[in-house]
Chain A
Amino acid sequence: GAVVSQHPSRVICKSGTSVKIECRSLDFQATTMFWYRQFPKKSLMLMATSNEGSKATYEQGVEKDKFLINHASLTLSTLTVTSAHPEDSSFYICSAPLQGGGGYEQYFGPGTRLTVT
């Protein structure tokens, strides 16, 4: 099946610094990728839709200047958390859709655990 990778799997950073998370589709091309945030024991919250070659589409309430998204190629999207604060600590997951029979299936990355101290 399709594989999506994410790097790093865990990162600890200090308040005020920036962190970049990479999401790659390994064996298929993805013109669109999605970035989610997940709090402990909570559901996946869609943050933004990453579009290859154009600007990302952010969900309401998500600060686009804080969560910078770049989709420079058909297999790579990056999420940069700028000027991180402890409240940004969370589990960040990306996904990429792949069209199957009759619809799209989402393939998720393994997630990145961000801890801001």
Chain B
Amino acid sequence: GENVEQHPSTLSVQEGDSAVIKCTYSDSASNYFPWYKQELGKRPQLIIDIRSNVGEKKDQRIAVTLNKTAKHFSLHITETQPEDSAVYFCAASRGGSYIPTFGRGTSLIVHP
């Protein structure tokens, strides 16, 4: 089955800095890679996703890159703000299958 590794487990940055979270996956048939943000005690919320037919996708301060050859994808947050503080999860799944495999999560702390 799919195995998703996520690093780092904790990331502490100053407000205004950039944050990068990296994930690797094992199943070469995976082609859908969502990222979720989970605030304490709340549900995970989809913030951005990428499919294997593209290498990069941006949405304002958030971007995701995908390297299918190396089987890794990354989340980039620029100009971080305290409200970006949360746990971020990457996930991978196959097309046509809706069962994602989640990474272990990254606790992002943005200091004002």
Comparing A12-20, A65-73, A104-112, the segment that makes contact with chain B is A104-112
* Contact code string B60-95 (vs A, CB < 8 Å = 1, else 0): 000000000000000000000000000101000101
Nearest neighbor of A10 in chain B, beta-carbon distance: B41
A105 to chain B, nearest CB (A): 6
Report Cα–Cα, A43/B46, bound state, in Å.
15
Q: How many residues of A contact B (CB 8 A)?
A: 22
Interface presence of A78 (CB below 8 A): no
Question: Is A42 in contact with B105, judged by CB distance below 8 angstroms?
Answer: yes
Report Cα–Cα, A102/B93, bound state, in Å.
12
Question: Is B95 in contact with A103, judged by CB distance below 8 angstroms?
Answer: yes
Question: Is B43 in contact with A106, judged by CB distance below 8 angstroms?
Answer: no
Question: Is A34 in contact with B32, judged by CB distance below 8 angstroms?
Answer: no
- Find the residue from A99, A106, A109 having the highest chain B CB count within 10 A: A106
User: Given A102-B95, A104-B98, A106-B34 in contact, is the A43-B103 Cβ separation under 8 Å?
Assistant: yes
Interface presence of A44 (CB below 8 A): yes
Report Cα–Cα, A27/B107, bound state, in Å.
32
A58 to chain B, nearest CB (A): 13
Question: Is B98 in contact with A32, judged by CB distance below 8 angstroms?
Answer: yes
Residues on B lying within 8 angstroms of A by beta carbon are 31-32, 34, 41-46, 49, 51, 87, 89, 93, 95, 97-100, 102-105, 107
25 contacts between A and B (CB under 8 A): A32-B98, A34-B99, A41-B105, A41-B107, A42-B104, A43-B102, A43-B103, A46-B99, A91-B41, A93-B44, A102-B32, A102-B51, A102-B95, A103-B51, A103-B98, A104-B32, A104-B98, A105-B46, A105-B49, A106-B34, A106-B100, A108-B44, A111-B41, A111-B42, A111-B43
Identify 18 new A-B residue pairs, CB closer than 8 A, beyond the known A44-B89, A49-B99, A91-B41.
A32-B98, A41-B87, A42-B104, A42-B105, A43-B102, A44-B44, A97-B98, A104-B93, A104-B98, A105-B46, A106-B46, A108-B43, A108-B44, A108-B45, A109-B43, A110-B42, A111-B42, A111-B43
